[in-house]
Amino acid sequence: MMRHFLFGVSTPGGGFGLDEVTTVAEACGVSPTAVLWYEDFAAEVPMTALRNVLSTGRLPLVTWEPWLWRTDDVDAADSIIGSIIAGDRDDHLTGWARGLSSVGHDVQLRFGHEFNGDWYPWSPAAGVTPTEYVTAWRHVHRCFRDHGVTNVRWMWSPSAGVDNLHPLEAWYPGDDYVDVVGIDGYNWGTTQAWSRWTDPADLFGPTVAETRRVTDGKPMVISEVGCAEAGGDKAEWITDFVRWVAAEPDVSGFVWFEHDKETDWRIASTPRSATTMASALSEVFS
């Protein structure tokens, strides 16, 4: 077997969807070793979900989003980032710090992912600057550090395949504040008027190269990935993708976005795609 390789999934049920994870394992012949899901900023610490995932021996990857999508709150786009910087959210941050510390196992925390896109309210499209993002990130990190949290690994997560208004270096909180880099990217194929079929190396390669320069050797994973069916051969793309990841010396695995959302991203969108993923993973884990 090659170096330690992370094969994770994000499913609609997250920490409460372990049956969905089992379905992926059966389709692929390999049991996922990590489960990624999403939490609204104002949510309480997801203790039950964390315990569910940890009870199976898998790594929890919690994506903590600085907006309030679980409520009817329509605050200004940058209100969460601004209030974090101002210290107005410190009690809430402290609650998360204490809660995650009490888990007693490693947890990866992915705060404010895909900041370099234009679809989230912590991005330039919503008026948030890289300086503000970095300041907020460091403030959250310090709250955890000041409460002695040692089991949380911090994942900084840019998006691949986008035209960046600012270089990634401007968004980077610094080596003392980041433990691992997670890069998100999707092959949208021809599902959108603006999209085209994109090979794995073309999709991820430039961002991986830029990340290497910015983070000076931080470990990397592909933290979200999916492939559409329209516009090319998804099964072939899956094979190429897994082989590309395995060949990158500092990319230690991937998390597949197992959702039928904008399109059917799932591994098992067709029997052939699932069979091909099983074959590709067997090469990695043989």
- 149-187 confidence digits (pLDDT tens): 999 999 999 999 888 789 999 999 999 999 999 999 999
On whether residue 215 sits in a domain, the answer given is yes
On whether residue 1 sits in a domain, the answer given is no
Distances (CA, A) of 177 to 114, 128, 145, 152: 17, 20, 10, 11
How many domains does the chain fold into? Answer: 1
On whether residue 173 sits in a domain, the answer given is yes
Below-50 pLDDT ranges, the chain: 1-2, 74, 76-77
pLDDT of residue 3: 56
What is the spatial distance between Cα 59 and Cα 37, in angstroms, rounded to a whole number? 11
Distance between terminal CA atoms of the chain?
5
Contact by Cβ (8 Å): 137, 112: yes
In terms of residue numbers, what domain contains 147? 6-285
Distances (CA, A) of 165 to 171, 214, 241: 11, 16, 27
On whether residue 148 sits in a domain, the answer given is yes
On whether residue 258 sits in a domain, the answer given is yes
Q: What share of the chain is helix, strand, coil (3-state, %, to 5)?
A: 40, 20, 40
**Apex CA 120: angle with CA 105 and CA 78, to 5°?**
95
On whether residue 194 sits in a domain, the answer given is yes
pLDDT of residue 73: 54
pLDDT of residue 68: 86
On whether residue 199 sits in a domain, the answer given is yes
What is the spatial distance between Cα 280 and Cα 130, in angstroms, rounded to a whole number? 38
pTM of the predicted protein model: 0.95
Contact by Cβ (8 Å): 64, 109: yes
What pLDDT, in 10s, does the model give residues 63-86? 999 998 776 554 544 579 999 999
pLDDT of residue 216: 85
Beta strand 220-227 with 180-187 is parallel
Q: Can you give the CATH number for the domain in which 53 is found?
A: 3.20.20.80
On whether residue 53 sits in a domain, the answer given is yes
